[in-house]
Amino acid sequence: MAVDITLSVNGVPYPLTVDPHASLLHTVRGDVGLTGSKEGCDDSECGACMMLVDGRPVNACSYLAVQADGSDVTTVEGLSDGETLAPLQEAFLTRGGVQCGFCTPGMLVSATALLDRTPNPSEDEIRTAVSGNLCRCTGYDGIVKAIAAVAAERAAQG
């Protein structure tokens, strides 16, 4: 039996009717129409689907949309300010953190969650945080450096 829910995605409320078993990922991609979040493994292994739910990093492929009823959901589309990229997005571009781009939305969301909780992470903490986000192109080096650069910039700005 379909269930009526309201998802607040990147600050916009969406009243939706969803199957109880529908994933948050399929609901946001299919019903809300935001396709930035990717489906990789559909198994909580690769992290390409990662979103923030009330600030927590969530593998949206394995999270039921009904459980996010009333929650604030942030996807990669919500990180920028209109056409102005977030510092993490700029850093990924300038430091070689993006190649094919498929892991990038989940990486950016994962890194956002890390910096929200740990503003000045060590390289080890960065690598731990993105270990649930698989990248087959970059070798991770550019990604780790991009996240570290943003943390350092923020620290310098106080």
Partner 1 sequence: MSTATSMTTSASSRTYVEARDVASAVAAMSAGARPIAGGTDLVVGARHGKAPLPAALVGIHRIPGLSDVAATDGGGLRIGALVTHATLVADPAVLAAYPGLADASAIVGSHATRANGTLGGNVMNSSPAMDTGAPLLCHGGVAVLVGPAGERRVALADLWTGPGRSTAAPDELLVAVELDGPPADGASGSSYVRLQYRRQMEIAIVGAGAVVTLGADGTVTDAKVAITALAPVIHRVAEAEAALVGTDGGFEAARAAGAAAAAAARPISDVRGSADYRRAMAAVITRRAVLTAVRRARGESVPVPASDTTFGS
CA 85 to chain CA mean position, Å: 14
72: tokens are 């604030």
First-to-final CA distance of the chain? 51
β-pairing verdict for 72-74 and 3-9: parallel
Question: What's CA 9's distance to the chain center, in Å?
Answer: 12
Q: What whole-number distance in Å separates Cα of residue 97 and Cα of residue 148?
A: 12
Q: How far is the CB of 110 from partner 1 (least distance, A)?
A: 7
Does 73 participate in binding partner 1 (rule CB under 8 A)?
no
Element (H, E) at 89: helix 87-94
Query: Is residue 84 part of the contact set for partner 1 (CB under 8 A)?
Result: no
Q: Residues in the chain, how many? A: 158
Q: Which two tokens stand for residue 77?
A: 């589309």
Q: Pick out residues in 20-39 that bind partner 1 (CB under 8 A).
A: 20-21, 23
Cβ closest to partner 1, residue 21 vs residue 157 = 21
Question: Of the ranges 85-93, 97-105, 129-137, 141-149, which one interacts with partner 1 (CB under 8 A)?
Answer: 129-137
Nearest C-alpha neighbor of 37 from the set 95, 132, 108, 136 = 108
Task: Decide: is 108 part of the binding site for partner 1 (CB under 8 A).
Answer: no
The only residue of 9, 25, 34, 50 in contact with partner 1, by rule CB under 8 A = 50
Determine, following the binding rule CB under 8 A, whether residue 45 of this chain makes contact with partner 1. Answer: yes
Assess 131 for contact with partner 1 (CB under 8 A).
yes
Q: Which of 69, 72, 77, 90 is in the footprint of partner 1 by CB under 8 A?
A: 69
Comparison of 43 and 153: residue with beta carbon closer to partner 1: 43
Catalog residues that contact partner 1 under the rule CB under 8 A. Answer: 1-3, 19-21, 23, 42-45, 47, 50, 56-59, 61-64, 66-67, 69, 110, 113-114, 128-129, 131-133
